[in-house]
Amino acid sequence: MATTALTPAASAYRSGLYEWITTTDHKKIGILYLVNSFIFFFLGGILALLVRTELAQPGIQFLADEHVYNQLFTMHGTVMIFLFIIPMLVGFGNYVVPLQIGAPDMAFPRINALSFWMLPLGGILLFLGFVTGGAASAGWTSYAPLSEDRALASTGPGQDLWIMGLTLIGTSSILGGINFLVTIFKMRAPGLTMFRLPILVWTVLVTSILQVLATPVLTSALIMLFIDRNYGGGHFFDPQFGGSAILWQNIFWFYSHPAVYIMVLPAMGMISEILPVFSRKPLFGYKAFVFATAGIGALGFSVWAHHMFTTGQVFLPFFSFMTFLIAIPTGVKMFNWVFTLWRGQLTLSTPLLFALGFLSMFLIGGINGAFSAAVPVDFALQDTYWVVSHLHYVLFGGSVFGVFAGFYYWFPKMTGRMLNEALGKLQFVLVFIGFNLTFFPMHQLGLAGMPRRIADYASDAGWNDLNLAASIGGFMIASSMIPFLWNVLISLRGGEIAGDDPWQANTLEWATSSPPPPYNFDRLPEIRSERPLFDLRHGRTRAITATSDSGPAPEPTH
């Protein structure tokens, strides 16, 4: 319970490199997650810039040949999904969730450290492919039988390293999921009932369930692919030897579609913390939001085959219907967010700007989903740049904007210092415009028939201008990282002192110092709603009580 083990051992909080390597403190591990994820974000971004440079004009001008090109986009997708977005959100969860539920740490601190350290190791394995004769090059989806043997995909051991790296990263994800579930179910502060949990905690809870249920399925697929490649001669996925090419897709997407929600639900949770704070209102429809989150998680397991509509091997009406259904809880969330802003008092600080970026861009990504759910329309759009656009509006327009919103919001808690507002706004403007310049034209490219994953296109196909625009946008996104990094650098050294609660926020992490001490709290405010600090600030609860087990408090009156 939160009330036990509050006395830190004297040696448990040393600083220095040794401390960072051996730490089991959820806050330090959370920061390690963030730093590690940003490093891979920049690496994945460089890969994307190389791709966009090649595609800026028709012809192969920049890269040696398709061998290299196929490795670039394969690694870009893999790195951004498995080493940036997923671990980045886990990092925020790691830092924020124990604080928000008033706990001293995660339930299993050492497993927490283990989960983290598997990530850089997995990342190194993935990148080792570049120096051992070619990284994986069968796309991040690694469709069999292309991924089955070297002659077909024309790569070196990179594909095997890819399998090993992802197996490690997947194991990290499973362990992390279990850790979050136990932490959230068992370590909440007294009075913090399930329906008083901050929405971020709810989204991490649902995400963790998805991770625990879906990731082992991916791991099984990876192991089968490894056996096929190295020992078994294709009995699983290569039709030449009695395997089934479609089987890989079914297993892969059974994980990788829920993975989309693993990548977007916590970001939704983060902006659900930010929107109420910066509009000075509670989240509109808290319970509806919780049910919508759970609904998305549950439906997420029954839509995987919508990635396979053109294979001719799917019972189309069922998966079409389930895919359409997901629009309903997503729409509920969208309206709840909008009506949180409605009649509020908005302060357009950088966290809110990024959260508004999330709302308006994820809206486009979400609406695009209806096109893919309409099976015959998907016949036209599948595997074209339209899909590239759609997935980036969800994962960049949604998740990445959410990540930056969260970063600006919790940076003061993590470091005790504020980030610079002007530089934050400059970054937002650059990334918002660059993002749309890059990815909006891809809708039109896809409609016009440009397939994804091609290194070159005919100069008379009519795709030149839009590709050039997308490439310029890509470099604009890259340029937005300059004010960002500069901002972090100068703010760490000389940023404005944040204080405990710079945003007049609602949740428990703002009730402790910035940065919080080891084991987080010595005392907690009384918890009677999902906004304990708001209640405290406006005199609805007693000032501070000792964290004794006072039993469930009565339901709040609004």
Among 114, 120, 130, 456, binds another protein (CB under 8 A): 456
Among 53, 171, 244, 464, binds another protein (CB under 8 A): 244
Q: Which of residues 202-241 bind another protein (CB under 8 A)?
A: 238-240
Nearer Cβ to another protein, position 175 or 334? 334
Task: Specify burial of residue 556 (Cβ count, 10 A radius: 0-12, 13-18, 19+).
Answer: middle
Nearer Cβ to another protein, position 428 or 521? 428
Stretch that binds another protein, among 38-46, 170-178, 406-414, 442-450 (CB under 8 A): 442-450
Q: What tokens were used for 468?
A: 């050039």
Q: How far apart are CA 486 and CA 495, in angstroms?
A: 12
Question: Does residue 343 contact residue 365 with C-beta atoms inside 8 Å?
Answer: no
Stretch that binds another protein, among 114-122, 125-133, 264-272, 323-331 (CB under 8 A): 323-331
Phi, psi of 253 (to 5 degrees): -75, -20
SS3 state at 389: helix
Angle at 216 between CA 164 and CA 319, to 5 degrees: 115
Nearest to 200 by CA among 110, 98, 113: 98
Least Å distance, CB 223 to another protein, is 21
Least Å distance, CB 115 to another protein, is 32
SS3 state at 289: helix
Nearer Cβ to another protein, position 119 or 292? 292
Q: Which of residues 284-313 bind another protein (CB under 8 A)?
A: 284-288, 310-313
Nearer Cβ to another protein, position 87 or 412? 412
Total residues interacting with another protein, rule: CB under 8 A: 103
Rule CB under 8 A: say whether 349 interacts with another protein. Answer: yes
x/- contact string, 516-545, with another protein (CB under 8 A)?
A: ----------------------x-------
Q: How far apart are CA 333 and CA 275, in angstroms?
A: 12
Phi, psi of 524 (to 5 degrees): -125, 145
Rule CB under 8 A: say whether 280 interacts with another protein. Answer: yes
Among 94, 207, 211, 384, binds another protein (CB under 8 A): 384
Question: Does residue 533 contact residue 507 with C-beta atoms inside 8 Å?
Answer: yes
Among 182, 227, 377, 472, binds another protein (CB under 8 A): 377
The one-letter amino acid code at 455 reads: A
Rule CB under 8 A: say whether 398 interacts with another protein. Answer: no
Nearer Cβ to another protein, position 174 or 387? 387
Rule CB under 8 A: say whether 364 interacts with another protein. Answer: yes
In the beta sheet, which residues pair with residue 524?
545
Least Å distance, CB 516 to another protein, is 25
Least Å distance, CB 380 to another protein, is 4
Nearer Cβ to another protein, position 126 or 138? 138
Buried b (16+ CB within 10 A) or exposed e, 281-292: bbbbbbebbbeb
Give the max Cα distance, the chain. 74
Residue linked to tokens 């932490």 = 183
Stretch that binds another protein, among 92-100, 125-133, 156-164, 315-323 (CB under 8 A): 315-323
Nearer Cβ to another protein, position 317 or 551? 317
Least Å distance, CB 55 to another protein, is 11
Nearer Cβ to another protein, position 301 or 335? 335
Stretch that binds another protein, among 12-20, 125-133, 250-258, 376-384 (CB under 8 A): 376-384
Question: Does residue 270 contact residue 88 with C-beta atoms inside 8 Å?
Answer: no
The one-letter amino acid code at 459 reads: S
In the beta sheet, which residues pair with residue 417?
497
Stretch that binds another protein, among 43-51, 198-206, 322-330, 542-550 (CB under 8 A): 322-330
x/- contact string, 118-157, with another protein (CB under 8 A)?
A: -------------------xxx---x-xx----xxxx---
Question: Does residue 459 contact residue 472 with C-beta atoms inside 8 Å?
Answer: no
List all residues 6 or more positions away from 500 whose beta carbon is below 8 Å from its beta carbon: 510, 511, 512, 513, 514
Among 189, 363, 395, 511, binds another protein (CB under 8 A): 363
- Count CA within 13 A, CB hemisphere, residue 408: 28
Among 410, 428, 435, 521, binds another protein (CB under 8 A): 428
C-alpha 47 chain-centroid distance:
19
Rule CB under 8 A: say whether 21 interacts with another protein. Answer: no
Question: Does residue 96 contact residue 505 with C-beta atoms inside 8 Å?
Answer: no
Q: Which of residues 479-508 bind another protein (CB under 8 A)?
A: 483
Question: Does residue 328 contact residue 321 with C-beta atoms inside 8 Å?
Answer: no
Q: Which of residues 46-65 bind another protein (CB under 8 A)?
A: 65
